Amino acid sequence: MKDAPKHLEPRWPAMLALFAVGGLRLALPESLSVGPAWLLIVLVAVLMIPTVWARYRGMDSINRILGYVLTSIVTLDMVWSLYLLIAALPSHKEAPPDLLRSAAALWLANILVFASWYWRLDAGGPRARELRGVHTDGAFLFPQMTLNQQAKREMGEQCWSPGFVDYLFLAFNTSTAFSPTDSPVLSRWAKLLMMVQALISFATVALLAARAVNIL
């Protein structure tokens, strides 16, 4: 067994993001979710326990696998709810306020889910970034990565590495401006994920919200 790492990047923002997605599921009508409304948040809580345990025991491989499983479950639940919401539009069974509330919840969940994926996948994941110490290469070109050494020293950014908030900001920009704005995308997998995120955001905002207020 590996020794527990001495320096750990705070993971609570990423954990809170997944719990928030489970909480947003409570805003959806029963017809737009699989199982009870509380099911997702319970699954997140149950899977979070061994994930955190593996992290603090230094079992990086198990922690990474459980993290992928946890994020995948949350992602599939969000995509399925979005499908049910789109499928419910022609039947007019859902009231416009319910559709509007569901669209807003899924839009927010979309940001949190993809922020979690960017944080988990970029540059080998959070543990690999911790071990590397300084973030110099990855799927996204953050502004701090473009600074010269003197500027980094003056700003105290010699050992800068992106945290969850950096990826949350990136995901928020993708869902609002449909572009990464301040951080160019370098890798192909990241470009594909951002395309999917922007498509989901466009569907919820332009189609579902518009239908909910009887514009379409």
Token pair belonging to 158? 């010699």
Report CA 158 to chain centroid distance, whole Å: 27
Residue with tokens 């449909």: 178
Average confidence (pLDDT) over 123-145:
87
Query: What's the rounded Cα separation, in Å, for the pair 125 and 215?
Result: 42
User: How much is the pLDDT for 51?
Assistant: 93
Q: Long-range contacts for 50-59 (Cβ within 8 Å, ≥24 apart)? A: 52/11, 52/15, 55/8, 55/11, 56/4, 56/8, 57/1, 57/4, 58/1, 58/2, 58/3, 58/4, 58/5, 59/1, 59/2
Q: What is the DSSP letter of 140?
A: B
Looking at the DSSP bridge assignments, the partners of residue 185 are: 140
- Dmax (CA) for the chain in angstroms is 62
Q: Reply yes or no on whether the pLDDT at 64 is more than 70.
A: yes
Grouping H, G, I as helix, E, B as strand and the rest as coil, residue 139 is: coil
Instruction: Examine the pLDDT at 81 and tell me if it is beyond 80.
Output: yes
Q: Look at residue 110 and tell me whether its pLDDT is greater than 80.
A: yes
Lowest mean pLDDT among 22-26, 55-59, 88-92, 135-139: 88-92
Is the pLDDT confidence value at 65 over 80?
yes
pTM of the model: 0.88
Taking phi over 0 as left and psi of -120 to 50 as alpha, with beta for the rest, 95 belongs to beta
Q: What is the mean pLDDT of residues 35-48?
A: 92
Say whether pLDDT at 94 is over 90: no
- Which segment of 29-38, 137-146, 153-162, 196-205 scores lowest on mean pLDDT? 153-162
Q: Is the pLDDT of residue 21 over 60?
A: yes
Average pLDDT over every residue of 156-160: 75
Q: State mean pLDDT over 37-50.
A: 93
Grade residue 183 by pLDDT with cuts at 50, 70 and 90.
Answer: confident
